[in-house]
Amino acid sequence: MVKTVVIQAHGGPEVLEIEDRPVGEPGKGEIRIRHEACGLNFIDVYQRDGLYPMTLPHALGMEAAGVVEAVGEGVSHLKPGDRAAYAAQPPGSYAQARVMPAAQVCPLPEGIAFETGAAMMLKGLTVEYLFHRTVPLKAGDTVLFHAAAGGVGLIACQWARSEGIRLIGTAGSAEKCALAKEHGAEECINYRDADWPKTVRDLTDGRGVDVVMDSVGAATFAGSIDCLRPVGMLISFGNASGKVPPVEPGLLASKGSLQFTRPTLFTHIAEHARCQEMARHLFDKVLSGAVKIRIDQRFPLDQVAEAHRTLEARKTTGSTILQP
C-alpha cells in the first residue's frame, strides 16, 4: 500500500485526500516507479477545481522522479533500478509509487538530482516546445513571457538567454521582476504597477514583440494582443487567471494579421520518440549549466492542500515539489 493523493469531487484544496492504495504489477507497456520527489503545477489546480474535468474519483499529479521497480512486457528503454523522471498522462504522480504507461517516462541522467528531475519535467518540456516546436525562433528575436518568475518562467528566462533570444518578462512584484532578470530576462515589467503593453511597445521602439508566451490567461490576453508586431504569434498555454474569452478572428486581422495558438505539452510528447528527444534536449541544457532549476518550496505529501493554496495565491517562485 502506498500513500496517494486523490479527489472524490472537484473543488478547492480541501477536496484533496490521502489514501492508502495498492500499487500492483505493471502490464504490457507499463512500469512501476517509486517516487523520490513529485512536482506541483498549475494544471493540477485546473484538474482539481474542474476547469479540466476528470472522471472521479481520481489521483492527481503530472510529474515526478524516482527509481523504476519493475517493467512490463514490451518496455525496452527502462529496466528495474533505473533512475527516471516524467511528465505524463494520466494524473497520479502525487504518490509514493505508481504503475503507469512507460512511453513518456525518461531515463534520468546521474548528474541530475531526483528533486531537480521532479521540478523540471513538465515545466522544462513546456519551455522546450514553446521555443523549438510552436513557432520558428532565432537569435535576436524578442519574446514577451508572462509570469516570468514562476517555475516555467525562470526556465524560459535562462533558455532564451542560452539561445540569444531577447526575453521581456512580466511578474507581479518588484522582487519577482528582479528574480526574472537575475535568470536571464533582459527586462521585466511589474504588471500590477505599469501600463505594461505600452512599456513593451516602448522597449521595442514601437514595433512590438515577435512572440507572446502567456500562461496567465484572461487577465493578460487583451494586453498581449496589443504587444505583438504585425504577423506576430500569441501562444496561450495556460489559464492561471481564468479562461481566455472567445476570440473574434477579425480582431487578429485588425491588429496586424496576428497568429494565435493554444498548444498543450501532452500533444507534443504523445509520441514516444519525440518525448525522449525533447527530454534529452532539456537534460542537456541542465547538465551544461545553461539552465538551473530553482526549487523554492518543498511540502511533505500530507501538506498537499497547503501547497495548492500557496500556488494559487501567487506566493511561489521557481518550482515547488512534494516529498513523498
Report pLDDT for 4: 98
For residue 298, the surrounding DSSP H or E stretch is strand 295-300
Q: What is the pTM of this model?
A: 0.94
Report pLDDT for 193: 80
CA angle 304, 308, 311 (to 5 degrees): 135
Report pLDDT for 244: 86
Domains and CATH numbers, the chain: 2-123+266-323 (3.90.180.10), 135-262 (3.40.50.720)
pLDDT digits (tens, 9 = 90+) for 240-274: 788 888 888 999 999 999 999 999 999 999 999 99
Confidence of residue 192 (pLDDT cuts 50, 70, 90): confident
d(CA 56, CA 58): 5
Report the pLDDT averaged over residues 105-117.
Answer: 98
Cell numbers describing residue 232: 506576430
Report the pLDDT averaged over residues 220-236.
Answer: 96
Report the pLDDT averaged over residues 151-167.
Answer: 97
pLDDT digits (tens, 9 = 90+) for 112-151: 999 999 999 999 999 999 999 999 999 999 999 999 999 9
Cell numbers describing residue 135: 513557432
How many other C-beta atoms can be found within 10 angstroms of the C-beta atom of residue 199? 17
> For residue 39, which of 113, 90, 93 has the smallest C-alpha distance?
93
In one letter, which amino acid is 17? E
Counting beta carbons within 10 angstroms of the beta carbon of residue 136, is it exposed (0 to 12), middle (13 to 18) or buried (19 or more)? exposed
CB 324 within 8 A of CB 301: yes
Beta bridge partners of 221: none
How many other C-beta atoms can be found within 10 angstroms of the C-beta atom of residue 60? 25
Look up residue 109 and give its DSSP letter: P
